[in-house]
Homo-oligomer: A and B are copies of this chain.
């Protein structure tokens, strides 16, 4: 038993399919009140559900928004996804999800799949990479996006533009001031601590990570401090944990020299909260305490991590809002109206949030 069709509804109501269509959807034309009711009755007596595929085919648009993330279970992306979902609802669209693990090749596949489904717009979250090993894939991704845009698709990228993508119409970038915020974080941290800094970063070439590292170093320099040493690892908890182990060994070595702990030996900046938590877990596992033996700060201000103790110093990013903005940027007519900044990158702001994990006893 197949789902009933518009034609069946029309027949039951004794009208033409066209009329039925006009009644059941938001057509500009308003059919006669009397006939409209008949159609509506017929429709739900048959349990009629319009075939979105057919509708999409007919008007070549799908009511779909494609969302590309590295990992939907990562709270960073989950938060963004919530925002996207939220904005999608405003636009009465549904969201199609693709997770790529951050690989440009997979992202390209996802874009192609979205294009095949005629998604009205695509939101890409997750750091871009400039690693040489990704060069070709990035180029293909860029080409795929270009084509999608040229065919009328709209895309928004969170953070950096896709490497090599031309600034086509319909291509929006939601800029996140990673560098600037990391600089501000360094400034505040340097004001309260005069020892060494270490950065736990992601793999070289990940823009988000690199920007945050660069900004942090700038802030340090501006405060007259020596640049921080950089430990690179994978951009997740495991990476943070590993780096944490390394640092723990170092800290414990230092303590051995001086006999006993006399306060933090190090201020650690992990380029995202999840890595920071990983690092903190490693330190703890090695018997070190925060902020007593080392202070630590992260980046993102992941909601689920706010109950972590000691409370993690970080930079608050309006993740959900970012998702919303990105999605809205791709809405038809989003850059119309009074907005004179049409086509300019959206600007996001964040906020340095110092908490217990970087408190140095006076």
Q: Is B307's CB under 8 angstroms from A281's CB?
A: yes
A293-311 with Cβ < 8 A to chain B: 302-305, 307-309
Known contacts A54-B57, A97-B96; is-contact A307 B277 (Cβ 8 Å): yes
Can you list, as one digit per residue, whether each of A8-52 has a CB less than 8 Å from chain B (1) or not (0)?
Answer: 000000000000000000000000000000000000000101111
State in angstroms the CA–CA spacing of A6 and B285 once bound together: 60
Q: Is A96's CB under 8 angstroms from B99's CB?
A: no
Is residue A79 contacting chain B, with contact meaning CB distance below 8 A? yes
Cross-interface CB contact of A1 among B49, B96, B151, cutoff 8 Å: B151
Is residue A3 contacting chain B, with contact meaning CB distance below 8 A? yes
List, in ascending order, chain B residues with CB within 8 A of A72's CB: 72, 78, 81-82, 85
Is residue A75 contacting chain B, with contact meaning CB distance below 8 A? yes
A208-222 with Cβ < 8 A to chain B: none
Is residue A330 contacting chain B, with contact meaning CB distance below 8 A? no
Can you list, as one digit per residue, whether each of A295-334 has a CB less than 8 Å from chain B (1) or not (0)?
Answer: 0000000111101110000000000100000000000000
State in angstroms the CA–CA spacing of A304 and B2 once bound together: 44
Q: Is B99's CB under 8 angstroms from A82's CB?
A: yes
Cross-interface CB contact of A304 among B75, B99, B115, cutoff 8 Å: B75
Q: Is A116's CB under 8 angstroms from B49's CB?
A: yes
State in angstroms the CA–CA spacing of A78 and B62 once bound together: 25
Q: Is B99's CB under 8 angstroms from A117's CB?
A: no
Known contacts A72-B72, A281-B307; is-contact A51 B116 (Cβ 8 Å): yes
Is residue A53 contacting chain B, with contact meaning CB distance below 8 A? yes
Q: Is A96's CB under 8 angstroms from B95's CB?
A: yes
Is residue A73 contacting chain B, with contact meaning CB distance below 8 A? yes
List, in ascending order, chain B residues with CB within 8 A of A117's CB: 52-53, 94
List, in ascending order, chain B residues with CB within 8 A of A47's CB: 147
Is residue A200 contacting chain B, with contact meaning CB distance below 8 A? no
Q: Is A53's CB under 8 angstroms from B50's CB?
A: no
State in angstroms the CA–CA spacing of A300 and B284 once bound together: 24
Q: Is B73's CB under 8 angstroms from A79's CB?
A: yes
State in angstroms the CA–CA spacing of A82 and B69 once bound together: 11
Residue with the highest number of chain B CB atoms closer than 10 Å, among A57, A74, A97, A303: A97
Residue with the highest number of chain B CB atoms closer than 10 Å, among A3, A115, A308: A3
List, in ascending order, chain B residues with CB within 8 A of A67's CB: 97
Can you list, as one digit per residue, whether each of A274-302 has a CB less than 8 Å from chain B (1) or not (0)?
Answer: 00011011001000000000000000001
List, in ascending order, chain B residues with CB within 8 A of A52's CB: 113, 116-118
Known contacts A73-B81, A113-B94; is-contact A57 B53 (Cβ 8 Å): yes
Q: Quick one: closest B residue to A320, CB to CB?
A: B73
Give A contacts to B, CB under 8 Å.
1-3, 47, 49-54, 56-57, 60, 62, 64, 67, 71-75, 78-79, 81-82, 85, 94-99, 112-113, 115-118, 147, 150-152, 237, 277-278, 280-281, 284, 302-305, 307-309, 320
